[in-house]
Amino acid sequence: MSVKKVSGNKSVSYARYGYLFILPFFVVYAIFTLYPQMLTIYNSFFEYYRDGLTIVGPNFVGMKNYVALFTKNSSGYIPLFKFLGNTVWLWLLGAVPQFVIAMMLAIFFTSTRLNIRGQQFFKTVIYMPNLIMASAFSMLFFALFSQVGPINQLLVEMGVIDKAFNFLGVRVTVQSLIALMNFLMWFGNTTILLMAGIQGIDESLFESARLDGSNATQVFFNITMPLLMPIFIYVLITSMIGGIQMFDVPQVLTNGIGTPNNTSMTLIMYLNNFLGTSKNYGMAGAVSVLLFIITAILSTFVFKTINKK
Amino acid sequence: MKKLLSISLALLMGLTAVGCSNSTPSNSASPAPAEGGEGKVLNVWTWNTEFWGFLGKYYADEVVDEYTLKKGDVTIKRTTYPSDDGAYQNALDEALLNQATAADDDKIDLFLAEADYIVKYTNSDATMDVKSIGVTDFSNTYQYTVQAASDAKGTVKGVSFQCCPAALIYRRSIAQDVIGTDDPAAVQAAVADWDKFNQVAADAKDKGYYMIATTNATYRVYSNNTTSPWVKDNKLSIDPNIEKWMDQSEEFVKNGYTAYTSNIWGDEATSEMFGSGKTMCYFGPAWYFNFSMTNAQDKEKGCFGDWAICQGPQPFFWGGTWMLAATGTDNPEMVADIMNTFINNEEVCEGLVKNEAQFSNNQKINNKYASDPTFGNEFLGGQNDTAIFAELAKNIKFQNVTQYDQLCNEGLQKYFTEFLDGEVATREDAINNFKDFIKNKYPSITVE
């Protein structure tokens, strides 16, 4: 490649072509992301909803929607906090095993010593659940674990339980099922990303470590993990943002009400309750803005703490 | 290759032009036959296929596919959203609010609504006076069906194709075993009020049966006999009769009189309708056993003919599907024609009663079959259900309804079920969860 040199001050700037090429992204971003975001923030200061076919508002109400969000409800708690807690808990339940398993698989698959055959096949298989729409996946579990569903039939027939168990009505099982589904859907994706990260590490580092007599644990903690950190943080943050936005799996599995006793109600399901029936843009906007702030804080926090080391 | 492409493109454009020039003059040249002003597409909105099936069978000339019918040169199209969680209402509201700006062929012409939320539409400008488009004869329809489809001023906005007095539907063989008879009159005597009903439930338990498939099965009987609406002056209140339903449900779960606590439409409750089911009683109108009890009608696993109906502990009615005329329709004549067909066309109404086991919205036809000793419903072991419904229809009063009823009814059942399942500590907690749900769904309602 030859670099064009122009004599004197009159250099031809090729930068403008660069701007031209990235322009489409910014235009699309501005129209479909930035503008709606601004609108959401704007709406959050208004009383704006539908009562049947009557549209109420928009009337400016200042911080009223935010105050309402931090007011205790009839059950005596602040819904926002409870549902944030639920969301984080449900995410952790799925994400911890997801990262452990994905990391193990990534190390197995990339290990030159193990040299597992049929990698392509396994990679496809573990990624497969991600291709199914989350709501369809959830619907499937809903049918599988219903009181007259195949799982119950199987367990009764095998004599494990003597009467059908209400999997979808009990907190422990509902939360476990949600975690299981999220795990199944995302561990393949995480595995592949981590594998890419590990493959990016210079193989000679592993080799020399082995020659120096370090065992697998030492290699993992002293070589793989530190060098994988940037990728690991990226995967963690995306998973966390995805977790905060958890919606379709619990929504479908619990018929939208986060059974039982609102213990599976996530923040986005809460948001959806405002939007579905009454198109309550004011309250929904306020929830979204808080969600945005929470996500931003979490991301910065994680990024900062992990990067420090 | 390029040449070929351009030639074919040119040809295509030519064809399109010809197509246009062909159709345009024929439209403008032959001015309006009888229904010349009518649109070519009639859009019907539904939440299930019950009425759509009848429309295809008794009104349309041709069933094109699952979503399309033909009547003359008009195409009838169906748009369907599920009813659960207000999804149908939400979609319908959205479409009706955009009705004015929609293209003629996309405008809603006729939409269905249920008793739980019909007032929302009748009391708005989204529906229009059907008398103005030619539906004027209500002499044979049941009074409550007209009242329900009227706005506060009494303007009629639609009609129902069915009348929905509801009954207790019981398994004959189980009644035989538990009560010792399957004769409707004798069974009625045994379950004439709730105390007697509960007594029979205990007997059923002793014999290894369930009285009801789910605690939610009796909900509509109680909720239809309330003395106050769900929402009055924008305030949510829980009627004493709903409390009674909670009492009964709690007792039934404690004593094991119910098979499940689940949703009545769910797999659990409906699986009890199979021949192998152990549940004796269901509650519902004619549409319930002929449209929603398909498991019982299953040729192999069902128990067709092993059923009968009687009034039950408390008379009630449940739902009914009304057709409402949407403001802005470009097919007013056909809309009126459909409405008239399903309430005044005796041949069609007879078909509904005779072939579909419906209880039609034509008193003359219903009474004719009610008094016909040879008439009987095979599914009910030959019992003349029309005779029973004709009697029960006299009790129906359309009262205490609000536009919020669907979510109030669904929500209360869902949240109370959590208490019955033991995951919510007290009944008050369940009610508080329900109140929070309503508060989030409807900002205009205050809960205390």
Q: How far apart are CA A77 and CA A264, in angstroms?
A: 15
Query: Is residue B99 less than 8 Å (CB to CB) from chain A?
Result: no
**In a shared domain, residues B48 and B132:** yes
Report pTM.
Answer: 0.85
Query: A275: nearest CA in chain B?
Result: B441
**In a shared domain, residues B276 and B311:** yes
- DSSP secondary structure letters along B127-165: B--GGGGT----SSS-HHHHHHTB-TT--B-EEESB--E
Length of chain B: 448
Q: Is B92 inside any structural domain?
A: yes
Phi first, then psi, for residue A272 (nearest 5°) are -65, -35
| ipTM score assigned to the predicted complex | 0.85
Query: B412: nearest CA in chain A?
Result: A257
Residue B205, number of CB atoms within 10 A of its CB: 17
Nearest to A260 among B93, B421, B439 (CB): B421
Q: Do A79 and B436 touch (CB under 8 A)?
A: yes
**In a shared domain, residues B330 and B414:** no
Interface of B with A in 43-62 (CB under 8 A): none
For the four alpha carbons of A294, A297, A300 and A304, in that order, the dihedral sign comes to negative
**In a shared domain, residues B155 and B143:** yes
Q: Is B426 inside any structural domain?
A: yes
The pLDDT, as a whole number, for residue B1 is 45
Q: Do A146 and B266 touch (CB under 8 A)?
A: yes
Give the C-alpha distances (Å, rounded to integers) separating A141 from A95, A146, A249, B218, B308: 19, 8, 10, 28, 36
* Contacts B328 to A, Cβ<8 Å: none
**In a shared domain, residues B180 and B298:** yes
**In a shared domain, residues B253 and B340:** no
Token look-up 């499940």 returns B260
Test mutation, A46, A252, A261, A273, chain B, max B CBs within 10 A? A261
Number of domains forming the structure of chain B: 2
- Stated as kind and residue range, the H or E segment containing B97 is helix B87-97
For A54-79, b/e burial (b = at least 16 CB within 10 A) is eebbeeebeebbbebbeeebbbeeeb
Residue B274 to chain A, least CA–CA distance (Å): 12
**In a shared domain, residues B171 and B254:** yes
Residue A298, number of CB atoms within 10 A of its CB: 16
Assigned token pair, B35: 């229904």
Q: Is B240 inside any structural domain?
A: yes
Domain span including residue B97: 41-164+320-370
Q: Do B124 and A52 touch (CB under 8 A)?
A: yes
Per-residue HEC secondary structure of chain A comes to CCCCCCCCCCCCCCHHHHHHHHHHHHHHHHHHHHHHHHHHHHHCCEEEEEECCEEEEEEECCCHHHHHHCCCCCCCCCHHHHHHHHHHHHHHHHHHHHHHHHHHHHHHHHCCCCCCCCHHHHHHHHHHHHHCCHHHHHHHHHHHCCCCCHHHHHHHHHCCCCCCCCHHHCHHHHHHHHHHHHHHHHHHHHHHHHHHHHHCCCHHHHHHHHHCCCCHHHHHHHHHHHHHHHHHHHHHHHHHHHHHCCCHHHHHHCCCCCCCCCCCCCHHHHHHHHHHCCCCHHHHHHHHHHHHHHHHHHHHHHHHHHHHC
CATH no. for residue B85?
3.40.190.10
**In a shared domain, residues B56 and B110:** yes
Residue A162 to chain B, least CA–CA distance (Å): 15
Q: Do A260 and B418 touch (CB under 8 A)?
A: yes
Q: Which residues pair with B317 in a beta bridge?
A: B165
Determine contact, residues B57/B69, Cβ cutoff 8 Å: no
Q: Do A52 and B403 touch (CB under 8 A)?
A: yes
Query: B414: nearest CA in chain A?
Result: A257
Q: Do A52 and B423 touch (CB under 8 A)?
A: no
Nearest to A74 among B268, B423, B435 (CB): B435
Q: Do A278 and B121 touch (CB under 8 A)?
A: no
Test mutation, A71, A75, A173, A279, chain B, max B CBs within 10 A? A75
What chain A holds in terms of domains, given with CATH numbers, is 34-71+277-309 (no CATH), 76-272 (1.10.3720.10)
Query: Is residue B428 less than 8 Å (CB to CB) from chain A?
Result: no
**In a shared domain, residues B202 and B254:** yes
Determine contact, residues B292/B220, Cβ cutoff 8 Å: no
* Contacts A287 to B, Cβ<8 Å: none
Q: Is B190 inside any structural domain?
A: yes
Output the average pLDDT for chain B: 87
Q: What is the pLDDT along chain B (448 residues), one digit of tens a residue?
A: 444 445 444 444 444 433 333 333 333 333 333 445 788 899 999 999 999 999 999 998 889 999 999 888 899 999 999 998 889 999 999 899 888 888 888 899 999 999 999 999 999 889 999 889 988 888 889 989 999 999 888 899 999 999 999 999 999 999 999 999 999 999 999 999 999 999 999 999 999 999 999 999 999 999 999 999 999 989 999 999 999 999 999 999 999 999 999 888 888 889 999 999 999 999 999 999 988 999 998 888 999 999 999 999 999 999 889 999 999 888 888 899 999 999 998 889 999 998 888 999 999 899 999 999 899 999 999 999 999 999 999 888 888 889 899 999 999 999 999 999 988 999 999 999 999 999 999 998 988 7
Query: Is residue B402 less than 8 Å (CB to CB) from chain A?
Result: no
Q: Do B424 and A143 touch (CB under 8 A)?
A: no
Quick: pLDDT tens for B305-355: 999 999 999 999 998 899 999 998 888 888 999 999 999 988 899 999 988
Nearest to B432 among A74, A260, A280 (CB): A74
Query: Is residue B215 less than 8 Å (CB to CB) from chain A?
Result: no
Test mutation, A257, A267, A269, A279, chain B, max B CBs within 10 A? A257
* Contacts A171 to B, Cβ<8 Å: 423
Spell out the residues 6+ positions from residue B308 whose beta carbon is closer than 8 angstroms to its own. B169, B170, B172, B175, B182, B184, B187, B380, B381, B383
Q: Is B8 inside any structural domain?
A: no
Query: A167: nearest CA in chain B?
Result: B421
